């Protein structure tokens, strides 16, 4: 039985071209990029090329790319790093009114939400901004939450469970209009992990100061991510204007490292660089850039076909998140569907037994099909949040596959 994978938002297979790009760096070109000799220089050159390829795709300088071990780490670096660098500037744990504030949306990935909660335990004030029924963040609530203590706003580009796309440019404008010219805060972080496959992520157009990507969501290897860090905010000019002693982070970035040790990644992420994975990441980015438009329209058609048929088979189904109509703000590959009366876990097991891999939402929750906090955040009942399934399409998905999945769903509901 050929299995059908409809969980591309959880992870993707490594593309053959990506495998080929990584292979030399496991054995033949194995040097430590930090070594001075020719072996090290070869590795260092490969990382430099990868940085440049990715920088071109993001429309930034290669010096603004920091490779990490995952997007989770990159998100941690953005949140904890900004808070770390502002410590001596505005932080005084004894005074509640001088607590730094960060603003995040209520449907961020766990790597942002759990980090925010952890920072909250450390005395940081966190504002969780709600979303509407379609999963679009309340921009007015972001504006209202900004104050002079706000150091960071973090909003994802597209949601991993429901695919809703956020109005990043609008949020960026609000943040920048508020930004204090002296302190250069608040900063704006965008988690673009799910968006990059289908949406161009040029940082100048998005207007963000930080942006997170992950290789394994775009047919690259697991275990490598990156954080774009804008160099536009100039620490020196900030210091000059403040005319007071300032705790300088070890680099000229407005962010401190969370992993210390060596001086890799411009002093912001210690640890020997993973040359093969970084080379693979860049190859994956290059491929996405080439096929994005074509794949977007192909996947959109397949998604609309699948959704239309699903509604015919089971008229009670409802979509979680924004509608699939052309003007909708949603990624083309994610369909999060409410199947009334069908507990997520039971349904997923029945699908799996029949050879179809789908998911309850985020992969991190997959071993326990808990109710989805994202579906709950849309204002739906706990029942709906525990009777919803996420189907995500990808490069290998065909209409033939989807027809088979539809037959399987029909059998699960109505028997043979
Ligand atoms: N952010 C989003 C939106 C995600 O979907 C994921 C993974 O599911 C992550 C961050 C974390 O990525 P990684 O697996 O590279 O840590």
- Tens of pLDDT, residue by residue over 76-101, are 999 999 999 886 555 555 667 779 99
Task: Give the confidence band of 64 by pLDDT, cuts at 50, 70, 90.
Answer: very high
CB atoms within 10 A of CB 74: 30
Q: Assign 132 a pLDDT band (cuts: 50, 70, 90).
A: very high
**Cβ neighbours of residue 301 under 8 Å, at least 6 residues apart?**
none
**pLDDT for the residue 368:** 58
Model confidence at 350: pLDDT above 70 = yes
Ligand 1 atom showing the smallest separation from residue 73 Cα: 16
Ligand 1 center to 392 CA (angstroms): 15
CA distances from 110 to 269, 363, 372 (A): 21, 10, 12
214 lines ligand 1 (CB under 6 A): yes
Kindly give the interhelix angle for 38-58 and 275-313, rounded to the nearest 10 degrees: 40
Q: How many CA atoms within 13 Å lie on the side-chain side of 120?
A: 13
Q: Is 191 in the pocket of ligand 1 (CB under 6 A)?
A: yes
Closest to 153 measured CA to CA, from 209, 199, 234: 209
Best residue for ligand 1 mutational test, from 71, 162, 197, 394 (most atoms within 8 Å of Cβ): 71
Cα–Cα distance list, 61 to 51, 58, 186, 230 (Å):
9, 9, 22, 9
Residue range 90-131, pLDDT digits in tens: 555 566 777 999 999 999 999 999 999 999 999 999 999 999
**Residues with catalytic roles:** 364
Which residue minimizes the CA distance to atom 7 of ligand 1?
A: 10
- Chain segment 173-203, per-residue pLDDT in tens: 999 999 987 778 999 999 999 999 999 999 9
pLDDT at 22 over 70: yes
Query: Could you identify the atom of ligand 1 that is nearest to the CA of residue 156?
Result: 3
């Amino acid at each position: 039985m050929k299995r059908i994978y409809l969980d591309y938002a959880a992870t993707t297979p490594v593309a053959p071209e990506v495998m080929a790009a990584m292979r030399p760096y496991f054995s033949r070109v194995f040097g430590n990029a930090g070594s001075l000799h020719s072996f090290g220089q070869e590795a260092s050159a490969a990382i430099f090329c990868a940085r440049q390829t990715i920088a071109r795709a993001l429309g930034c300088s290669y010096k603004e790319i920091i490779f990490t071990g995952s997007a989770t780490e990159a998100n941690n670096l953005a949140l904890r790093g900004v808070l770390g660098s502002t410590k001596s500037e505005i932080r005084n744990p004894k005074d509640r009114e001088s607590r730094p504030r960060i603003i995040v949306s209520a449907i961020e990935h766990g790597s942002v939400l759990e980090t925010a909660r952890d920072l909250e335990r450390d005395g940081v004030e966190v504002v969780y901004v709600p979303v509407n029924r379609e999963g679009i963040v309340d921009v007015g609530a972001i504006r209202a939450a900004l104050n002079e203590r706000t150091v960071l706003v973090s909003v994802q580009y597209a949601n991993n469970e429901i695919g809703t796309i956020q109005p990043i440019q609008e949020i960026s404008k609000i943040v920048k209009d508020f930004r204090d010219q002296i302190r250069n805060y608040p900063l704006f972080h965008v988690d673009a992990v799910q968006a990059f496959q289908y949406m161009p992520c040029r940082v100048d157009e998005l207007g963000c100061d930080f942006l997170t990507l992950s290789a394994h969501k775009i047919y690259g290897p697991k275990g490598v991510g990156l954080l774009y860090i804008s160099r536009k905010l100039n620490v020196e000019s900030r210091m000059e204007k403040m005319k007071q002693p300032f705790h300088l982070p070890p680099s000229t970035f407005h962010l401190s490292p969370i992993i210390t040790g060596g001086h890799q990644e411009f002093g912001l992420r210690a640890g020997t660089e993973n040359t093969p994975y970084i080379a693979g990441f860049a190859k994956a980015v290059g491929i996405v850039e080439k096929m994005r438009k074509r794949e977007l329209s192909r996947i959109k058609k397949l998604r609309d076909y699948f959704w239309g048929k699903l509604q015919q088979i089971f008229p009670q189904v409802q979509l979680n998140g924004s509608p699939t109509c052309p003007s909708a703000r949603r990624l083309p590959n994610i369909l999060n569907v409410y199947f009334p009366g069908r507990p997520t876990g039971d349904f997923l097991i029945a699908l799996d037994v029949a050879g179809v891999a789908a998911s309850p939402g985020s992969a991190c929750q997959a071993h326990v099909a808990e109710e989805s906090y994202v579906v709950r955040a849309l204002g739906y009942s706990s029942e709906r949040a525990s009777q919803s399934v996420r189907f995500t399409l990808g490069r290998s998905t065909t209409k033939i596959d989807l027809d088979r999945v539809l037959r399987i769903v029909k059998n699960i509901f109505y028997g043979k």
